[in-house]
Chain A
């Protein structure tokens, strides 16, 4: 993904304006997390599906992004030797992520990303993503705080 197409506030576009915006937005996000009016929330929360004792980290190519209610899903092919598993990972609510600067095309099919999250309780290749990093080293907020997952609002710069 070329940097010019990035719309996330955490995008790296190398310009002064980008730096200022990034700094301001990061600060704003940090404040939103720290302030009483924290806006980062999600529902059908974490414990209904995911296991806090099963942290997972993996990388792969995005195969599909569903920027849809109630929570976005990012699917990616994860290689383990010759075996390829298509993981589906749940994020936050579209309206919330939109308010934070995410757009439906922030991640695209084919993007190489790494995901940090927690695996499903039922053992299927499903995860709750807390942080996504792109191949450019860009760290984007993926998950949803305040949903009962460990780490809460403290992990990731884009929270």
Chain B
């Protein structure tokens, strides 16, 4: 995607967002919350390669491994999912991103699903009754019980939320609630409220590929759920999860150099985005796709 296309794309996002926000408020007033099926796999990124899927001793497609979870450096959870079905509050938050420093720049945990579109690998440990995620980024972890337990009745809201898992065939389905509104969805400045409910799906589709999908269901910010997904390749065999600490010598933050706005450089002049000649929409890849803006 050339720079011009990027500009058009950003512009289209904003305009589409305004339109969607207006439409969304109407839908919200009618109490209508549609659903969106997981997107078909249309990315220009890696395609399933058909190599044999390793299995656990108890027969599941084995998720274990160190996965390079943000393969293309794509950072926009909503790329190819335009227009987003903003509510007025959701659109306001999206446009207000310029007034805030990205929370991860201040070492706030990335939250869910952003932990999966942030850089650096994740090690997944697949056990019969739980799946453990060790994220290199910010030395974070998630422990997902798959023994059938529900979410607790009371949840203390947290940056990474509360998750439970279940198996749908060979797909691990993780349900996460109990999130705060202090994290963002991605480097692009897509936002969520404290009503966010995330459904993530992990499935090993080949020897060295993991299919990831996330559905964003946030009735305060979006009139209906929306989804995106991509393929995470297995990392080189000798990779171990190392230490990415956010606070040892963080001169960008501690030195006071941080500026507001999205991390990926979009909207960087802080002005409203211009009207595009034509609004490209749909068909694009997710964060792992092949048409990410230049320099990503």
Contact = CB atoms under 8 A, between A and B. Distances in A.
Contact of B295 (A36, A98, A150): A150
Interface in B53-88: 68, 70-73, 75
Interface residues of B, number: 51
Contacts of A68: 248-249
B70 to A, nearest CB: 6
Nearest to B235: A37
Given A37-B235, A69-B243, A69-B246, A152 B263 contact: no
Given A45-B264, A47-B264, A73 B251 contact: yes
B244 A70 contact: yes
B250 interface: yes
Contact of A43 (B119, B243, B261): B119
Given A148-B296, A152-B295, A48 B263 contact: yes
A69 B136 CA distance: 12
Interface stretch (A14-22, A54-62, A88-96, A107-115): A88-96
Interface string B205-248: 00000000000000000000000000101111001001111111
B293 to A, nearest CB: 8
Contacts of A99: 239, 242
Contacts of A42: 119
Contact of B102 (A36, A48, A90, A96): A48
Contacts of B233: 36-37
A148 B75 contact: yes
Q: Chain B interface mostly helix, strand, loop or mixed?
A: loop
Interface in A86-137: 88, 90, 93-96, 98-99, 120-122, 124, 126
A145 interface: yes
A94 B245 CA distance: 10
B136 to A, nearest CB: 7
B187 A148 contact: yes
B104 A43 contact: yes
A44 interface: yes
Contacts of A149: 265, 295
Given A38-B71, A148-B296, A45 B263 contact: yes
A145 B252 CA distance: 17
Interface string B102-141: 1011000000000000111000000000000000110000
A41 B119 contact: yes
B264 A43 contact: no
A38 B72 contact: yes
A48 B295 contact: no
Contacts of A121: 257, 259
Given A43-B120, A96-B120, A121-B259, A88 B70 contact: no
B104 A44 contact: yes
Given A43-B104, A95-B242, A146-B119, A88 B71 contact: no
A12 to B, nearest CB: 25
B263 A44 contact: yes
A63 interface: no
A96 B248 CA distance: 16
Nearest to A68: B249
A124 B257 CA distance: 8
B259 A69 contact: no
Contacts of B187: 45, 148
21 contacts: A36-B288, A37-B68, A38-B71, A44-B102, A44-B252, A45-B75, A45-B187, A47-B259, A47-B265, A48-B105, A48-B252, A48-B259, A52-B295, A69-B244, A69-B248, A70-B245, A93-B120, A93-B244, A95-B243, A95-B244, A148-B296
Given A71-B252, A96-B120, A148-B264, 19 more contacts: A36-B45, A37-B71, A41-B73, A42-B119, A44-B105, A47-B262, A47-B265, A68-B248, A69-B243, A69-B247, A70-B250, A88-B255, A90-B251, A94-B243, A95-B244, A98-B242, A146-B72, A147-B263, A149-B295
Interface of B: 45-46, 68, 70-73, 75, 101-102, 104-105, 118-120, 136-137, 187, 231, 233-236, 239, 242-253, 255-259, 261-265, 268, 288, 294-296
Q: Which 3 A-B pairs have the closest CB atoms?
A: A146-B73, A41-B119, A95-B242
